[in-house]
Structure 1
Amino acid sequence: MTQPAAKSKRQTRRRRARGSLVLIASLFIVSATIRFGEGVGLAFAAAGKDAPEAKTCVPDEDGMALLRAVQERERKVTEREGALADRRQSLDIVEKRVQDRLAALVAAEKELANTVTFADKAAEQDVQRLVTVYEAMKPKEAAPLFEAMSPDFAAGFLGRMRPESAAAIMASLNPDFAYSISAIVAGRNARAPTN
């Protein structure tokens, strides 16, 4: 055999083998389609016969009671939140008023402290002027004025005077009155700590 004739025989065999394969594959596909079609039809037929009737959803009493309880609880929580918000707002208003009043009180306290300081300075200046006046007076003229004062008050003036002026006035005083003034002046620092 020649080469071209051998080639031709091989090609013929291959064509036949391909044709056989195509035929077998086609038969498989047709069989599967028939079976699938029958199964679907049977399934639809069975579904139509055995399918349960559609039921309407009816809630049970326990579920409804639970739902009502949850809704009531939610309503109460909402009311409580509203009440707390109102109370917080009221507290904020009160806190603002308290802060305003406290600021006013602090301002008034500062003003009062300034007034007291001014009054103390003025009183100190007045007392210092009187001390200067009493020191300038003759001891015999000043003595009756001091005897008219209470011993505490007189001791205050004499304690501020120069020692020479105070001594001259004390010498002109009644001895009992001079003694009481001396006791007051000496006792002022008796209770002061020594250490």
Structure 2
Amino acid sequence: MTNSKSKLKFTTLFSLAILCWIAADLTFTASFIQGSSAQAQEKAEEAESPKGKTSGLEHALRQRRGDFDKEEEIEVKLPEHKAVISPETFRMIEMIEKKNRELKKKEEELKVKEQQLQALEQKVRQELREINLALAKSERQIGIKNEQVAQNIESLIKVYSSMKPEEAANILEAVDEELAIQIITGMKAQIAGQVLSQLNVKIAKAISERMVGKGEVKDKTAP
């Protein structure tokens, strides 16, 4: 973006310099034409005056005698009318104008892309804010849910601990293995051992292996 502006500034200054040079050329040509015209008019007035006529007669006599002084001859020629601006200058101006148009077009395209990027960035930030809010809400909900689950498991541990080992074992054989492990792990060591001894051998073995992976049953004492 900065390079495009610098190029545009340089091209504009270069164009102004070309135009100033052309204006100076035109001013010089006009001054030269005016001076030549004034000189021609002055010579014409001298020729029309009596003195001028006498001088003309003298010049004619000298020419007849072959004694005409060529240095006194003043020939006034008006400059030929020619094109003030050359084709090369025209081509240069056209090239500069073309470059200016191209730079302006690129600058406009860059502005459009910049606006699009800003809009996209704003949209992404808004979406990120919404996602963060949703995650925070989910974490709060999960935390509440986990707390409720923990409270429910604590209640189940108390209930199963108050049962006879045979009754607790029969029910635990029917529940989910993960839940059974959480309940037995939360029991006092003595009660947990009694319940495990009443479970089916395969179920007791699987639960015991899972409990070893999660840590040994805590040795809780009665309050």
Q: State the TM-score, normalizing by the size of structure 1.
A: 0.66
Q: Which of 210, 214, 219 does residue 184 from structure 1 map onto?
A: 210
Q: What is the root-mean-square deviation in Å for CA atoms of aligned residues?
A: 2.4
- Give the whole-Å Cα distance in 2 for the aligned partners of 1:162 and 1:185: 14
Asked if 1:128 corresponds to 2:154, the answer is yes
Post-superposition, which runs of at least 4 consecutive aligned residues in structure 1 deviate over 4 A?
Answer: 47-52, 54-57
Superposed displacement of residue 83, structure 1: 1.2
Q: Which amino acid aligns with 1:172?
A: Q
Q: Which of 93, 97, 100 does residue 67 from structure 1 map onto?
A: 93
Q: Which amino acid aligns with 2:90?
A: M
Structure 1 or 2, whichever has the larger Rg, is 1
Alignment of 1:101-112 (within 5 A): 101-112=127-138
Aligned length: 146
Q: State the TM-score, normalizing by the size of structure 2.
A: 0.58
In structure 2, list runs of 5 or more residues that go unmatched.
1-38, 44-73, 217-223
Q: Which amino acid aligns with 1:78?
A: K
Contact in 1 for aligned 2:166/2:198 (Cα 8 Å): yes
What's the CA shift string for 1:120-145, capped at 9, x where partnerless? Answer: 11111111111111111111211111
Alignment of 1:134-173 (within 5 A): 134-173=160-199
Q: Which amino acid aligns with 2:92?
A: L
Asked if 1:83 corresponds to 2:114, the answer is no
SS in 1 for 2:78: coil
Identity percentage of aligned residues: 22
Aligned counterpart, 2:143: 117
- Give the whole-Å Cα distance in 1 for the aligned partners of 2:177 and 2:128: 44
Contact in 1 for aligned 2:153/2:182 (Cα 8 Å): no
What's the CA shift string for 1:38-87, capped at 9, x where partnerless? Answer: xxxxxx79x96566535555211111111101101100110111111111
